[in-house]
Structure 1
Amino acid sequence: MGKKNKKEKKGAGKEKTIQKTEKKANKRAKKELAEKGEDDIEKMIAEFQEKDRRKTQVIEEKCPPPSPRCSMSLTAHPDKEELIMFGGEYFTGNKMYLYNDLLVYNIKKNDWLKVTAPNAPPPRSAHQAVAVRQSGGQLWIFGGEFASPTQSQFYHYKDLWLFSLKEKKWEKVSAPGGPSARSGHRMVQCKKQLIVFGGFHDNLRDYKYFNDAYAFNLDTYTWVQLVVNGNAPSPRSACVLATVADQGKVLVYGGYSKERVKKDVDVGKIHADMFILTPEGKVKEGEQPGKWKWISVKQSGSRPSPRSGFSLAVVGGNKAVCFGGVFDEEEGDEQLNGKFYNELYFLELDTGRWFDARLRGKKTASEKKKRRRRKENETGNVEDGESGSESEEGENDMDMGEEEIRKLAIDKEGTEGDLGDSGDVENDKDVNNEAGMEVDGVTSENSGVGMKEGANSVSMETEQGVESVFKVTIGAQGGENSAMEGFDGATGSEDQAVNVFMPAPRMNALMAVKNGVLYLYGGIFEDGDKQYTLSDMYSLDTNKMEEWNTIIESNLKDLVWVESDSSSGEEMEEGAKGGDSDSDSDDDDDDDLDIDFSDAPERPINEAIKDYFARTKDYWVSKAKEYCDSEGMTLAEKKLEKLAKEMCQESFD
């Protein structure tokens, strides 16, 4: 009985501590919002919606290229030569901006159009958008997040929106049974359904990653959570999701998640595994699958090294192109450095096979003529009087058909990259994870996957901290991929080394494909603690794979980052001046830390809190350690210093 009562008391004490911590956090949050002059986040969103409700007409006007932003959506129009951009966010280092504008890029005219329509969704980022041909063209948007200007508040959406591309009209679709509020999820069209997978929810105090899957029926406007058998991918966000054309299947690759290993200590995990979500059993024509199953994919070919922020766009024929990404080299819970990439890969969606995508460089007329003459001499098909000029114009360097390519690949590997139920991952290359970050889906002891010699991983340093463009020499590579000569961008040993322009390394680039042309917009590059939002734009013909075309040039002068380190000291000073705390005065004693500060160094009346803390930092850090030891916590150095600052401030409140 005594032991039981002791356990109950211990449990009650822990619960009381949690409630006390929660109460204190709420009190501090209210005070901080009051000091910053910031409204409650739901009130902000309501104000945006009310403002949009007052709009009564559709306005279409030409506009300059989009202002800097990231985590928006970029979607190819299902019928027209247009790309549709919606929403996004822009963080300057001390302030967050959110958008809900709809911008249309006309590919042929190379200009932008801003479409303003009544009843638009509130501003958001990290949402998903899918365009379908139904009813003259529709843009579907689900989920996302909203952050306050100071990033002290976050709100996740679970709403579904429809924009009629024909009528220029927004509609909020009310359909019960859909996914919970989230961002960082992925959504694709699979026949007459929208499939949503993964994502995360974070309220600054706790977070949760998802691995559930939902389907929205485009005919009946109803949600259903998929019943899926088999071993599912672990919860994650920011994965790549693609439909396997005409097969009713969906491929999931990679992603990122965090795991709490102990109080206030999180470990990031980069996922490098691959799965297929496929209907289970026979599905009658015109009906939706009732059951699904997860199948683990054995990847093969020239696999990318582990990374997050990887971008994917389907180019057709069950092929996708992938670009960029970042690998955060971590030690324990301290992030040390981010390695950014600007490599291109092709992925066969139905086999899980990877290929290096290398640019040939644009050939001159004389080079094309020499190559054509060589081919004609080899085949003996030279005809008298043939100039060859017309055929040179239309040459796209496709030397082999796909069947020949596939045969060569099978002969070399003995397999096509089978889809099996095994969770093992086939590694055709050496694995090399240089850091201690956990990597999921890689079976090698070292974790990670190595790159071919000359792969474009770059660590860029300039006076401004980032470089906008650079030159890379990409030469002929033999071995496994030589069998893929003629496959979109996979070249053989015949090619000469060429100097080609490549977009700068980045993560979370926006990509869309229209008529075989890949369009790449923006992304993020980090330099230490600075995060730069890119707003450049490029195109690449994936049939020719010759060179990138610059649509919007990158300009280092446009990259903005405002240091916000001083703001913490100013906020501490403002907080020390007091505020409206009468309503909570009865609870002040209960909320104070249970540590004696009577031996604290003396503070002159005219000394600002931030100056006082800088002068007596060692004392407050020692008190923070004392508190952590009493609570059985272990904090990283930065978090410990943050706690020390809070203690210093509260001791003078």
Structure 2
Amino acid sequence: MGGGRDKRKKHDKKLGKVSQSKLSGMAKTERKTELNLHKKKSRSSKEEDEENDIERILRALKLKDEEKKEVRVEENCGRPEPGRASCTLTTSVAKNAAYLFGGECTSEEKKSEKEGTTKTTTTKTRVFNDMYKFVPPSSSAAAGGKRCGVPTWTKINSVNSPPPRSGHCACYAKGYVYVFGGEFTSPNQEKFKHYSDFWRFDCDSNAWEQLESGPKNGGPSARSGSRCVATKSDFILFGGFYDAAEEIRYFNDCYAFDFDAKKWRVLAKGGTGSSAPSARSACHVCVSAVGGSNSSGSKKRNSKSSKKGEKGEENDGEEKEERKEEGGEERTYLYVYGGYCKHVEEPDEDTDPRDLEDFGAMERAITREDCWKLDVYGNKKWQKVKKAGLAPRARAGASSVVHLAKKRLIVFGGVVDHEIKKGDVIVSEFLQDAFTFNYNTEKWFPLTLFAEKNEKVKTEEESREEARKIAAGELDGNENFNVRLSDREKAAVRIQATFRGHRVRKAMKLYRVGGVVSELLYSPGTGEEAPKPTAKPRGRINASVCVVGNDLWLYGGIVEVGDVEVVLDDVWKLDLSAKSKWIRSEKVSERVANQLSELEMDANQPQKENNNEQETDDDSDDDDKEEEE
């Protein structure tokens, strides 16, 4: 040890460094503080490097997964803990159940080095690869005065499971749940890994099998945010995005995987132009088969043919016209609606070069609201579908699922960002409405909700009383806005949403069904919805949905309170019968409820303080004016 110290002293003298023993007391303290800061910085940078090392994390998870020797099933384990977003909930028709796979959860962690020091908040993200079987409650389960029973959750620990991921796509076909792509995020969200692998899960044996995929095998490249559907013979995939920090790419190509031959092929190449949908991710897709002997048109022709024998030849011309339109053969169309992408804008003459150095290229988010269809097995060409009916406005992060019984696609929720104060402030509006797209008629309709018989619509006096309570601070505002309004603004918005003049009164008569007014009557930018007696899930993004039987089930998702994201874990059922209504099956957990309560309290506190200060200033100004007079 001595020789080593001597060598360090010589080295220090060459560099002109002062001996530690010759430093003054204050200098020693400063030097010690500097060394401690350097050590702390080194430790934190080392921890960050470890958190960013995705390959190391995945290797450790793979080794842990390889320790499993057999499939282990945990029945009645309860819903996933913690909640999930960007996971998939895939319905198995044969099992009358759904399978939840993957997803992610972002949480806030508060740390303090010592007592009395300020707490630092860090955001951590966990990504999952566990599989849950979701079995809805039977009608008899809703006993004891409850409107909806609690579903049964079963955790399936399989051998050879796929790596953890979120933002993947999945669909069910022929006894298997097929899963493609997705992404893995480092805990500090600094690094991402996109997958191009393709898996299927056997719903009978609970076993995973990896299939050939990737560009080498004629399949899609690595991506997440893509969407998929299943036909009788193929797994069809469209779109997605790839983000590697240095570059970000969005796709509009379309691939098909043959279930029997287990081979990929390209249905439609990506590219630019007006003859195909633009590149996008997180869109909504469904398939429709028209024409042929099994179509609804053929059934109509058969019924008309039978009637023709009774009524003569009066329907003969109409029948020939239908045969001409359908072409006598079945056609399968893939429908693509909406989506999201980021567009890199070229800097203009007014752009400061220093801004480009500090912030890089200027990106602009684009939310799509166009609709296209692809002739899958025919000419494989895209056609733009005109908006018909009452279509939803553009939104990002919405969830969608197909309701086969009524040949329709159901779209729920999403978020709309409003830029105010010339773009300096962005207000995010989380939506809780639902729309349906009938892919046979290609028309949109809002999903009308019905009230219970024992529930009443608020009268004008009740609405005004509610507005008074909001103004007095006795009631909170709408939970679906992440920016809080003042008490006066809340009251004004509530009245505005309830009373809007002659056109609204006409629309109320037109759309009032079961005592509930359609959501289309109210301005989306007001910040408050009209009072409704029906229970509804909170507005959210990246939730997972499925349809089992004639019920839509909703789980999880993300909501923002201020600038903080909260991952939800509640479960809702939407009855898709003739009179649709939401029924809450499982509330948010106590942990999530406490987190929401704390954040909303923090968000409301500064607003009330500012209002009190403003009222005090207004009073003082009035007093000054009176004195001057």
TM-score (norm 1): 0.59
1:393 maps to which residue? none
CA RMSD of aligned residues (A): 3.8
Q: Do residues 158 (structure 1) and 196 (structure 2) align?
A: yes
- The letter for the 1-side match of 2:342 is K
DSSP-derived class of the 1:215 partner:
strand
Task: Provide, for residues 45-100 of structure 1, a one-character-per-residue CA deviation record: whole Å limited to 9, x for no partner.
Answer: 23222322221101111212112110010111121221210000011141110100
- The letter for the 1-side match of 2:107 is T
Give yes or no for contact 1:302–1:354 (8 Å, CA) kept in 2: yes
Give yes or no for contact 1:104–1:113 (8 Å, CA) kept in 2: yes
- The letter for the 2-side match of 1:106 is V
Sort the Cα spacing of 1:337 and 1:479 in 2 relative to 1 into closer, same or farther, 3 A: closer
Q: Do residues 259 (structure 1) and 300 (structure 2) align?
A: no
Distance 2:391 2:170 in 1: 28
Sort the Cα spacing of 1:551 and 1:562 in 2 relative to 1 into closer, same or farther, 3 A: closer
Distance 2:542 2:344 in 1: 24
Percent identity of the aligned residues? Answer: 33
Shift of 1:473: 8.9
Query: Residues 79-158 of structure 1: matches in 2 within 5 Å?
Result: 79-93=94-108, 94-108=123-137, 110-132=151-173, 134=174, 137-158=175-196
Shift of 1:533: 0.8
Distance 2:92 2:435 in 1: 24
DSSP-derived class of the 2:65 partner:
helix
DSSP-derived class of the 2:536 partner:
strand
- The letter for the 2-side match of 1:250 is L
1:69 maps to which residue? 84
Shift of 1:474: 13
Give yes or no for contact 1:536–1:552 (8 Å, CA) kept in 2: yes
DSSP-derived class of the 1:205 partner:
coil
2:71 maps to which residue? 58
2:408 aligned residue (319, 322, 327): 319
1:293 maps to which residue? 381
Indicate the structure with greater helix content. Answer: 2
Distance 2:343 2:548 in 1: 38
Give yes or no for contact 2:428–2:482 (8 Å, CA) kept in 1: no
- The letter for the 1-side match of 2:408 is K
2:398 maps to which residue? 310
1:523 maps to which residue? 557
- The letter for the 1-side match of 2:332 is G
- The letter for the 2-side match of 1:249 is Y
1:359 maps to which residue? 449
- The letter for the 1-side match of 2:410 is V
Give yes or no for contact 1:474–1:500 (8 Å, CA) kept in 2: no
Sort the Cα spacing of 1:30 and 1:237 in 2 relative to 1 into closer, same or farther, 3 A: farther
Q: Do residues 274 (structure 1) and 287 (structure 2) align?
A: no
Shift of 1:33: 5.3
Give yes or no for contact 2:482–2:562 (8 Å, CA) kept in 1: no
Give yes or no for contact 2:255–2:267 (8 Å, CA) kept in 1: yes
Query: Residues 566-581 of structure 1: matches in 2 within 5 Å?
Result: none
Please say which of residues 476-485 and 335-344 is displaced more in the overlay: 476-485
Sort the Cα spacing of 1:477 and 1:97 in 2 relative to 1 into closer, same or farther, 3 A: farther
Distance 1:113 1:348 in 2: 34
2:307 maps to which residue? none
Distance 1:146 1:177 in 2: 23
Give yes or no for contact 1:92–1:561 (8 Å, CA) kept in 2: no
1:169 aligned residue (207, 212, 235): 207
- The letter for the 1-side match of 2:344 is R
DSSP-derived class of the 1:535 partner:
coil
Sort the Cα spacing of 1:343 and 1:556 in 2 relative to 1 into closer, same or farther, 3 A: farther
Q: Which runs of 5+ in 2 are unaligned?
A: 1-40, 109-122, 139-150, 291-330, 348-359, 456-477, 486-493, 522-530, 599-629
DSSP-derived class of the 2:193 partner:
strand
Shift of 1:459: 2.4
Distance 2:499 2:441 in 1: 27
DSSP-derived class of the 1:37 partner:
helix
1:38 aligned residue (51, 73, 76): 51
Distance 1:30 1:124 in 2: 28
Sort the Cα spacing of 1:547 and 1:561 in 2 relative to 1 into closer, same or farther, 3 A: closer
Sort the Cα spacing of 1:490 and 1:77 in 2 relative to 1 into closer, same or farther, 3 A: farther
How many pairs were matched up? 425
1:238 maps to which residue? 282
- The letter for the 2-side match of 1:83 is A
Distance 1:220 1:361 in 2: 50
TM-score (norm 2): 0.61
DSSP-derived class of the 1:503 partner:
coil
- The letter for the 1-side match of 2:158 is A
Give yes or no for contact 1:198–1:213 (8 Å, CA) kept in 2: yes
1:554 maps to which residue? 588
Distance 2:454 2:427 in 1: 41
Task: Provide, for residues 366-425 of structure 1, a one-character-per-residue CA deviation record: whole Å limited to 9, x for no partner.
Answer: xxxxxxxxxxxxxxxxxxxxxxxxxxxxxxxxxxxxxxxxxxxxxxxxxxxxxxxxxxxx
- The letter for the 1-side match of 2:409 is A
Distance 1:103 1:45 in 2: 21
Q: Which runs of 5+ in 1 are unaligned?
A: 1-27, 280-288, 366-455, 464-469, 564-653
Give yes or no for contact 1:60–1:116 (8 Å, CA) kept in 2: yes
Shift of 1:228: 5.9
Give yes or no for contact 1:228–1:291 (8 Å, CA) kept in 2: no
DSSP-derived class of the 1:51 partner:
helix
Sort the Cα spacing of 1:333 and 1:50 in 2 relative to 1 into closer, same or farther, 3 A: farther
Sort the Cα spacing of 1:337 and 1:228 in 2 relative to 1 into closer, same or farther, 3 A: same
Give yes or no for contact 1:92–1:562 (8 Å, CA) kept in 2: no
Task: Provide, for residues 447-493 of structure 1, a one-character-per-residue CA deviation record: whole Å limited to 9, x for no partner.
Answer: xxxxxxxxx99426679xxxxxx9x999998659959989xx98999
Shift of 1:34: 5.7
Give yes or no for contact 1:481–1:491 (8 Å, CA) kept in 2: no
1:414 maps to which residue? none
DSSP-derived class of the 1:163 partner:
strand
Give yes or no for contact 1:342–1:457 (8 Å, CA) kept in 2: no
